[in-house]
Structure 1
Amino acid sequence: MPRFRLRRWQLAAAVLALLLITAWLFAKARGPELPGYTVEAGPVVQTVVATGRVAAPSRVQVGAEIAGLVVARHVMEGDRVAPGDLLVELRAQDLQAQRDEAAAALAALREAELPDARARLREARARLAQAERELARRRELGERQLVTREQIEQAVQAEIAARAAAEQAQLAVEALAGGARETQARERLAAAEAALARAEVRATVAGTVLTRGVEPGDIVRAGDVLFEIARDDPGELRIPLDEKNLARIAVGQPATGIADAFPDRPFAATVHHIAPAVDPSRGTVDVRLRFGNEVDFLRQDMTVTATITTGEAADALVVPDDALLEVDEGRGTALVLRVRDGRVQRVPVKLGLRGLAMSEVREGLQAGDRVLAATALARDALPAEGDRVRIDEQPAPKTGADRSRGELPVQLD
């Protein structure tokens, strides 16, 4: 009986060994299990991601037009100002005195000299009328030979003198009432007021104060810059972009910005300027993005990451970048290892939108094809054409896609 049991145990062990050997041979015949993906069709968005800073498109420097002592400063950095807002007051007693003197001179002209000139004009006109009557009377008497010719000539001279005096008085009134003298007095007053106004430094544009370089008690000179104001134009981001991405960037492309200080407040922007030259020391090109005035939480020189949409495809075949071999960026071609019926096929493909995680394949593959994650394998472990392999299905790389739109953004540095 023990002998029979021993034989049964040996037979079971032999059968199990045979099954294991058969399974091993079957697995070996199917080939090794390697990581891979299934090619899927869907929309794809290509983006360029770069970091830059907030920059005001227009900075206005406000300075002093005259020298003087600062007696008051009314704004600080970050304050909002409108055109005409008072920024700084300078001490200006001498200019105030000149303005008061000019104003007093104009008032004296209008209130004293002008009434006196008008009175002299009335008196001159009365004398002229009297001289005209006297001349007429003597001429009448002369016709009757009751007065001498000499008396008539004296009356004529008196009338001429009275007329000249009246004309001179008229000119004096005209000079004082809107004429040359009043104009001159008004101009002196205007010049004095303009000089006094320069003692008050005011904002010339609407914007935000960026820097201030003055405090009460400081002595400033004409031409000194006291404030720098960022004009209220649409804001800008200045992005130093790697020159390898220059061909993908165009004016008008949409972008999304995220400030390091406000990561939960993304905002829309648009490419509106690309520098005409590349910085040779850094190998970058400056790109300016403009955003609207509604984005009011950004500050000058704040760090912002911009994601620029450089290309879109509504229905594209997308494969992970680690499935691409022998990539030729210039020609836009690559090689993939496709697995069909359990065997490897080396397939050349034509690439479209490119990125760090995913790429569009325009020719060479179809939806549903399965490809190996070739770059994840060691070079000596790459299967050859016709080798048998099995695919260990891997999930597609995550690239921060907007799942609500079903997009697969392609990010480029």
Structure 2
Amino acid sequence: MAEHDLEKLKIDRGPSAAVPRRRRNWFRYVLIALILLALAAVAFRLTGPQAVESATVTSVYPSQSYTLLNATGYVVPQRKAAVASKGQGRVEWLGVLEGTVVKEGQIIARLESDDVAASLAQAQAQVKVAQANLELQRAELKNAEVDLKRFKILAPQGAIPATQYDAALARYDKAQASLNSDAASIVSARANAQAAQVAVNQTVIRAPFDGVVLEKHANVGDNITPFSSASDSKGAVVTIADMKTLEVEADVAESNISRISVEQPCEIQLDALPDVRFAGRVSRTVPTVDRSKATVLVKVRFVDRDARVLPDMSAKVAFLSKPVPPEEKKAVVAVQPSAVVTRGERKVVYKIDNDTAREVPVTTGERIGDLLAVQGVKPGDVVVLSPGDKLKNGARVTLAKK
């Protein structure tokens, strides 16, 4: 009996005893994994990307520091004409296209001229007829004058009747009057011929001044009728402009007009040429106010002519307190001053590249408005604003949400 009790005290080392132990080991492994994950999360939170504010490096012009005010407008030629003819007719020849450079007096187009040419020939023939009649009357006057002189000698002697003398005198007076009439007829015929010549000249359309063709309104075969509103007729053949007279017409608020004066220096920027600044001068101020916009029209001329400047380009005008010196005509790189910090003896900015802050040494220049001129970075670079002392070179960063 005692031996049987001892058998009960033996430890069972079979498969059924190993199961609880494996369960305890699996629970231990899971607990360790959770602890490691928690530690990793804490470490990631402590060493994760820093949230920073950023700014973009830009390019500015030094003239912005002494700009009094800005205005917008358009490039407009002050000498512009819609070229037409006072005569009517069909276009039979057109010698220009858009962009063609023309000289004063150059033939632009011709209208059909058969009818007016025939009228001119007829008028010129009438002049010749009047001249022939004049010569005939001169001969008649000369003959009447000879007879009158003869009868003046014979009449006092009674060789001829007094009535014959009176007839010779009347013939002379009539010949003199006819001569004067024919002379007036020549003047009238020549005037008619001149009018016909003007009509012929009007069929030839010429450039009124040196310029460039901006628009072509008619083609060969179109009817030109300047003073008609018919749908199938054209008024002008082309529109030309003198490119030497290009100016910028800018709208300036009437509250700022006192800050503008004639010959005031300006800087002109065209939307089509954003990287170029053109020197300008205030030409004149139109002495009226646009009620709807409360603005005054100010005209600014270009100091130097540039072939790239075209009519109707959008423009921005900066009215300056002084002319731009030659050394300040080029753009400079600038950033917000808070982006520049001192590290040791160097001034640096932190450039953001692939979510990493890279320390870049810079050289600072003058203040230009709210910006600071720098060298060492280029326009378009993104830098950290107000980087703290904890921000190190190579640190991971993320942009703070605004």
TM-score (normalised: structure 1): 0.55
Q: AA paired with 1:277?
A: V
- C-alpha spacing 1:208/1:199, structure 2 compared with 1 (3 Å): same
Match of 1:226 in 2: 237
Match of 2:138 in 1: 118
Give the distance between the partners of 2:139 and 2:121, measured in 1 at CA. 28
Q: Identity percentage over the alignment?
A: 25
Indicate the SS of the match to 2:87. Answer: coil
SS at match of 2:205: strand
Confirm whether residue 158 of structure 1 aligns to residue 164 of structure 2: yes
Query: What is the CA–CA distance in structure 2 between the aligned matches of 1:212 and 1:45, rounded to whole Å?
Result: 44
Q: Which amino acid aligns with 1:90?
A: L
User: Does the C-alpha gap of structure 1 residues 63 and 293 become closer, same or farther in structure 2, counting only changes over 3 Å?
Assistant: farther
Q: 1:159 offset after TM fit, Å?
A: 1.1
Q: Which residue of the partner structure matches residue 179 of structure 2?
A: 173
- Partner residue, 1:190: 194
Equivalent pair of 1:206/1:231 in contact (CA under 8 Å): yes
Does the 8 Å CA contact 1:47/1:311 hold for their aligned counterparts?
no
CA RMSD of aligned residues (A): 3.7
The answer for the alignment partner of 1:319 in structure 2 is: none
| Aligned ranges 1:201-350 → 2 under 5 Å | 201-223=205-227, 224-231=235-242, 234-241=245-252, 246=257, 248-262=259-273, 266-274=277-285, 276-277=288-289, 280=292, 286-292=297-303, 294-310=305-321
Structure 1 position 300, deviation (Å)? 0.8
Call closer, same or farther: CA 1:394–1:137 in 2, change over 3 Å: closer
Contact 1:243-1:278 at 8 Å conserved across structures: no
Cα shift at 1:64: 3.1
CA-to-aligned-CA distance 1:226-248 (integer Å, 9 cap, x gap)? 22232466321123456775554
The answer (yes or no) to whether the contact 1:235–1:293 under 8 Å persists in 2 is: no
Q: How far apart, CA to CA, are the structure 2 residues paired with 1:95 and 1:64?
A: 14
1:46 pairs, out of 19, 43, 67, with 67
Q: For 2:315, what is the secondary structure of its paired residue?
A: strand
2:115 partner letter = D
Q: CA offsets per residue over residues 279-313 of structure 1, 9 Å max, x none?
A: 756x765432112574444211123343320469x
In the alignment, is the contact (CA less than 8 A) between 2:365 and 2:372 conserved in 1? no
Distance 1:243 1:156, change over 3 A: closer
AA aligned opposite 1:185: A
Structure 1 residues 244 and 396: alpha-carbon distance in aligned structure 2, compared to 1, 3 A threshold: farther
Residue aligning to 2:230: none
Look up the match of 1:102: 123
Structure-2 residue corresponding to 1:130: 150
Distance 1:259 1:98, change over 3 A: same
Asked whether the 8 Å contact 1:233–1:293 carries over to 2, the reply is no
* Distance (Å, rounded) in 1 between the aligned partners of 2:261 and 2:336: 23
**Amino acid of the structure 2 residue aligned with 1:182:** I
Q: CA deviation at 1:357?
A: 8.3
For 1:53 and 1:198, locate their aligned partners in 2 and report how far apart those are by CA, in whole Å.
35
- Kindly indicate whether the alpha-carbon contact (under 8 Å) linking 1:249 and 1:310 is maintained by their aligned counterparts in 2: no
Deviations 1:93-132 (A, max 9, x none): 111111100101112322x322222222222122223322
Secondary structure at 1:268's aligned position in 2? strand
- Tell me the distance in 2 between the aligned counterparts of 1:258 and 1:292: 13
Worse overlay, 257-266 or 119-128: 257-266
**Residue deviations 1:212-262, cap 9 Å, x none?**
201111112233122223246632112345677555444432012244545
Structure 1 contact 213–225 (Cα < 8 Å) conserved:
yes
Secondary structure, aligned partner of 1:225: coil
Deviation at 1:63, TM superposition (A): 2.5
Paired with 2:275 and 2:365, the residues of 1 have a C-alpha distance of 28
Contact 1:67–1:219 (Cα < 8 Å) also in 2: yes
Is residue 279–residue 285 contact of structure 1 (8 Å, CA) maintained in 2? no
Q: What do residues 18-60 of structure 1 show as CA deviations (whole Å, max 9, x unaligned)?
A: xxxxxxxxxxxxxxxxxxxxxxxxxx62343444321112432
Alpha-carbon distance, 1:210 to partner: 2.0
Distance 1:66 1:401, change over 3 A: farther
Q: For 2:305 and 2:154, locate their aligned partners in 1 and report how far apart those are by CA, in whole Å.
A: 86
Shift in CA distance, 130/278, structure 1 to aligned 2, threshold 3 Å:
closer
How many equivalent residue pairs?
Answer: 266
| Partners of 1:73 and 1:284 in 2: CA distance | 42
In 1, distance between residues paired with 2:372 and 2:219? 52
- TM-score normalised by L of structure 2: 0.56
Counterpart-to-counterpart distance in 1, 2:336 and 2:253: 18
**Once the 2 structures are TM-superposed, how far is the Cα of residue 90 of structure 1 from its aligned partner?**
1.0
Distance of aligned partners of 1:311 and 1:222 in 2 relative to their CA distance in 1, 3 Å threshold: closer
Question: Which amino acid in structure 2 is aligned with residue 186 of structure 1?
Answer: R
Contact 1:235–1:292 (8 Å) recurs in 2: no
Which one has more relative contact order, counting CA pairs under 8 Å at least 6 apart? Answer: 1
Distance 1:204 1:257 in 2: 30
How many angstroms apart in 1 are the aligned matches of 2:113 and 2:304?
39
1:263, distance to aligned residue in structure 2 (A):
5.6
